[in-house]
Amino acid sequence: MKILIVQDYLRSGGTERQSLLLTRAFTAGGHPTTLLTFRPGGALAHLGEDLDHRSLQPFDLHLDWFAPGLSAAATRLQPEVVLCMGRMANCYAGNLQHHLPRSPVVTTLRTGKALPFLFRRSLHTVRHIVANSHEARAGLISNQHLPPEKISVIHNSLVFPAPSAAGRNDALRAHFGATPETNVLLNVAMFRPEKNQRALVQIVAGLPATADWQLWLAGDGPARAACERLAAALGLSRRVRFLGFHRDPAPLYAAADVAVHASTSESLSNFLIEAQAHGLPAVAYAAQGIGECFVPDRTGWMIPPADRPAFIAALAPLFQRSPLARAALADEARAFARTTFDPARQVGAYLELFARLSAGT
């Protein structure tokens, strides 16, 4: 089966990592797969150097929406299935289906943001839709008035390998001034307003003065500078660490104690499922799909949006757990994530869907 995956740009986000993972897995499974991006380059472009990765812009015009010759390029490739990843690519999905009437075009919903008009229109004209959470699927049915049979749920795949059990990375903790007793809270996400890292800074400012903690914020983006200023204004510069973008955050997961998340716009959080796979319990504000990232009230706790006292209250027992209790919780989190978000399982679900759509069933 010849597959085309369309993505606007290989920036450092979760959707882009999923696009690369799927391209590699489909190719390894004997399905010739092309990853076609609008822009060349990007923070993750090096991960696609051994793949069939092509770009439409001859050089980077810094325009995420500009896809010159997309329909012509897709027609030349003659894919049997097209998978559109990300908001910009999905805006073009309806047009691709028009130009490739015999090839199923599949859109994906992987965001909690408002959908552009062209994206919403494509949802009604493509052959099928994949939502990455059951909550996102329900939203499409109720808000976009789409038939339920047109929408499948395939969760995100785990990108970073996680051991079945592992010791804590105390060397990395020491590098950032954390002792073995320090409770390290971790968030890995691009610094965008909707990721809401500033809320995490405000939350930890309300922790008891005697508590031993650090907040590690890994990632980069336009909202980082404002978040750093807020931490400084609250006198937290020594406790809130800005770690920058990490190509592989697995060592950070191995050094942390709790995953924290305050995003206001999600469909399913790659960060939370990766954290669970590495054995970290999670505390997160409620957003679309968040409750599907962990076992509610067992390996993760979902807090009403903007309820800082409840967030702090959920952290308190995690700080106080014994090493034995922490190990048991970590084992349960790892088992849940490694089963639910297993890459082989998700890749198989995509290929099964593609085969069914190609057969017209």
pLDDT for the residue 361 = 67
Determine contact, residues 273/341, Cβ cutoff 8 Å: yes
Q: What is the mean pLDDT of the chain?
A: 95
Name the 3-class secondary structure at 36. Answer: strand
pLDDT single digits (tens) 226-263? 999 999 999 999 999 999 999 889 999 999 999 999 99
Integer Cα distance of 87 and 89 in angstroms: 6
Tell me, what amino acid is at 285? Y
pTM of the model: 0.90
Q: Flag the least confident range among 145-149, 167-171, 325-329.
A: 167-171
pLDDT single digits (tens) 128-150? 999 999 999 999 999 999 999 99
Mean pLDDT, to the nearest integer, of 326-354? Answer: 95
Residue 165 has pLDDT above 70, yes or no: no
pLDDT for the residue 228 = 98
Integer Cα distance of 138 and 34 in angstroms: 31
pLDDT for the residue 24 = 97
Domains and CATH numbers, the chain: 3-157+342-358 (3.40.50.2000), 170-340 (3.40.50.2000)
Number of CB atoms found within 10 A of residue 196's CB: 24
Confidence bin at 360 (pLDDT 50/70/90): confident
Residue 163 has pLDDT above 90, yes or no: no
pLDDT single digits (tens) 45-74? 999 999 999 999 999 999 999 999 999 999
